[in-house]
Amino acid sequence: MCIGLCVFFWHAGLALAAPVIDNWKVIQETFFKQREVTEAGEQLEISAPEQAENAALVPLSFMLNAKQEVSKIYLFTDANPILHTATFYFPPQTVKFYLATRIRLENNSQVRLIAESPKGSLMMKSVVIKTPGGGCGGGGYSDEASLRASAGQMKLKGAEDADRLAFNIKHPMRTGFERTLQGYYAKAWYINVLDFRVENSSQLKVDVGPGISADPYFQFSSKKVQSAWQVEAKDNEGKQFLQSFEMGTF
């Protein structure tokens, strides 16, 4: 018993002591073509664990409190095989916004948010998260029919804070790096678009990548919590899921 635990903690210690992956030069050249990116300072705050217990389920949240309008925020995870984790699109005149989600981590990584204004100015905030690793390569799935039958089932409800909503959608979010029980790699299969609307006006749109954890979860702020919401989800196989929620008074 002691030997097994000692080996586990020894491997975990090695992983946490491993170098932190920083791919900023690749991200900047690929996505921003050497555009100037300033430090966000207190305008953008990130909350995440310094050491993630579960590399496939890492909590991360951010608070935007900008001096000028922000139209979208990019989320990048430097150590993952697919660097771009998500992009969040906001309604016009957004300067304050809260969002929480869960991500995957393959190795110790810089995790960065880059906010963009409607005029194209960019500001960045980043944090280091250490992990035992392997968050992008989970196990196989033995009941494919059941998995596909439940994919796309959604829940939307009021969060503990009165101005926030909590959303969850059933989906395995396969990255393409998971091995099945038969030993081969499962084909990538993941939600890639989410759109939250009130009266056909988008309140939050998300371009989702496979770096978001299985059964994607998002908690986000809104001035229209007690409204009728429509949520549309699409996956990379072309499937579309649509559901309406009458939030009312909690």
Residue of 22, 218, 55, 9 lying closest to 127 (CA atoms): 22
Residue of 222, 220, 219 lying closest to 201 (CA atoms): 222
Query: Is residue 14 one of the residues assigned to a domain?
Result: no
Query: Is residue 146 one of the residues assigned to a domain?
Result: yes
Percent of the chain with pLDDT over 90: 76
Quick: pLDDT tens for 49-72. 999 999 999 999 999 999 999 999
Query: Is residue 3 one of the residues assigned to a domain?
Result: no
Query: Is residue 211 one of the residues assigned to a domain?
Result: yes
Quick: pLDDT tens for 119-172. 999 999 999 999 987 666 654 455 778 888 999 999 999 988 889 999 999 999
pLDDT at 12 over 70: no
Residue 143: domain span: 19-246
Give the predicted TM-score (pTM) of the model: 0.90
Query: Is residue 35 one of the residues assigned to a domain?
Result: yes
Task: Tally the domains of the chain.
Answer: 1
Confidence at residue 147, expressed as pLDDT on a 0 to 100 scale: 85
Alpha-carbon gap, residue 101 to 115, rounded angstroms:
17
- Domain CATH for 27: 2.60.40.2470
Query: Is residue 167 one of the residues assigned to a domain?
Result: yes
Residue 6 CB neighbour total at 10 angstroms: 10
217-221 and 96-103: which strand pairing?
Answer: antiparallel
Which tokens is 174 given? 């396969």
